[in-house]
Amino acid sequence: MLDFTILTENWDMYAEGFKVTLLCSLLALIGSFLLGTILAVFRIAPIKPLNWIGTIYVEFFRNIPLLIIAFTIFVGLPTLGISFDGFQAGTIALIIYTSAFIAEAIRAGILAVHKGQTEAARSSGLTYIETMRYVILPQAIKIVIPPLGNQFINLVKNSSILSVIAAGELMYQADLISLRTYVVFDVYIIVALLYLVITLPLSYGVNYLEKRLAKSN
Amino acid sequence: MDFAGAYTPDHLKFLLEGFLVTLKVAGIAIVLSFIIGGLIGTIRYAKIPILSQILAILVELIRNVPLLLIIFFTFFALPEVGIKLTPTMAAITALTIFESAMLSEVIRSGLNSIHKGQLEAGRSSGLSYVQTLWHIVLPQALRRMVPPIVSQFISLLKDTSLAVVISLSELMHNGSVIYAQPGGDKFIMPIFILIAGMYFVVNYALSIIARRLELKTT
């Protein structure tokens, strides 16, 4: 049976890791939401060069591993004289990677809002940016919330790769604990449970919202 | 940054070997995951009592923990209970566990997307439940599942890079071997750029295929 004394005896380290995991996931969510929104608007703006920038960004970062982004920032950039600590590098990498996915979710949400809405807003004298800001985005947000929730779950899980670049999140603390106690199995099971504490409620929330959205349509 | 020094024929060959390992591990894992995920998805679609509830819980649990944790677990924790795996075996096992859970959801929703009338028609023309699934529902559902399965394969290729933590000699690992040699610092950025490029070319090509197939099926 699972030895929970591991959890109680190493509570400080588990709690610290849990805190860092939550913090970097939240920061990355905010960052990638902002960047993702800009990218989504770029991709649908009626200006060709902006479309290209948006498309190149999204296609490139969606198709390469998060790990290579994290390594480039943490190991690669210092050779060019730009250094970050593990937490900063990991959070930046998560933002760069996740914003590509969030941009796609937001773009799909914007496209799902009926075209007549844009036309109506534009012909009542709003500029393109005003139309986006006051008419389209508020409606798109409702559609976008469930996929955003999914991306947040992915963020929490993906933040585990910060352990590879020595940022003190949950996975990293687990490695330290298992080195200290010579126990591996139970240490990892407890870490899995701690991740589930965050991700399971989120995934139920997302499911609930998806069902409600499906009903309201 | 020393591009010329980083991209010598020897280095390129070594990176390519790493990428072949990545492709091989991902390829084996996707085939295994398709079989296991297909079984799980079908059992849950058929709502076989008890078994489908147990599988539902397992799928939820696996989908909601980080893949990195599963990789660490198969390589470092399983030996504690007497199961010792090589890095290759551990990587394939971990990726298959994770990906089977993901694919089972793809397959289940593919099956659910086939109209119930098909099942009823098959049953009422005298086919057994299993025959109806096998000859009527699955062939139609499979066609719809191809695009999301290709997308899953793209994720899987990217995820294989995580096996670097258990020293599987895949692309990331071979890259790090090159820049870890004395004076290799100036190779770091060129190597990372090349690795990202290799991933991009393969995954982008796959994503175009997935999109084409999607247009065809809808």
Can you tell me the ipTM of this complex? 0.90
- What pLDDT does B171 receive? 95
Which CATH number do you get for residue A40?
1.10.3720.10
Q: How far is A5 from chain B (nearest CA, A)?
A: 18
- What pLDDT does B135 receive? 93
Residue A119 lies in a domain: yes
Domain that holds residue A31: 19-171
pLDDT digits (tens, 9 = 90+) for B123-152: 999 999 999 999 999 999 988 899 899 999
Q: How confident is the model at residue B217 (pLDDT cuts 50, 70, 90)?
A: low
Residue A74 lies in a domain: yes
The total of structural domains in chain A comes to 1
Residue A77 lies in a domain: yes
Contact flag A65-B158 (C-beta cutoff 8 Å):
yes
pLDDT tens, chain A, 217 aa long: 677 888 888 899 999 999 999 999 999 999 999 999 999 999 998 899 999 999 999 999 999 999 999 999 999 999 999 999 999 999 999 999 999 999 999 999 999 888 899 899 999 999 988 998 899 888 888 889 999 999 999 999 999 999 999 888 899 999 999 988 888 899 999 999 999 999 999 999 999 988 888 887 6
- What pLDDT does B84 receive? 94
Neighbours of B58 (CB within 10 A): 15
Residue A111 lies in a domain: yes
Average the pLDDT over B68-81 and give the result.
Answer: 93
- What pLDDT does B149 receive? 93
- What pLDDT does B137 receive? 92
Among A150, A143, A134, smallest CA distance to A106 is for: A143
- What pLDDT does A1 receive? 67
Comparing CB atoms, the residue among B76, B79, B192 nearest residue A71 is B192
Comparing CB atoms, the residue among A75, A163, A188 nearest residue B73 is A188
- What pLDDT does B142 receive? 87
Residue A4 lies in a domain: no
Q: How far is B2 from chain A (nearest CA, A)?
A: 11
Domains and CATH numbers, chain B: 3-217 (1.10.3720.10)
Contact flag B189-A79 (C-beta cutoff 8 Å):
yes
Residue A54 lies in a domain: yes
Residue A194 lies in a domain: no
- What pLDDT does A217 receive? 66
- Chain B residues whose beta carbon lies within 8 Å of the beta carbon of residue A175: 72
Residue A210 lies in a domain: no
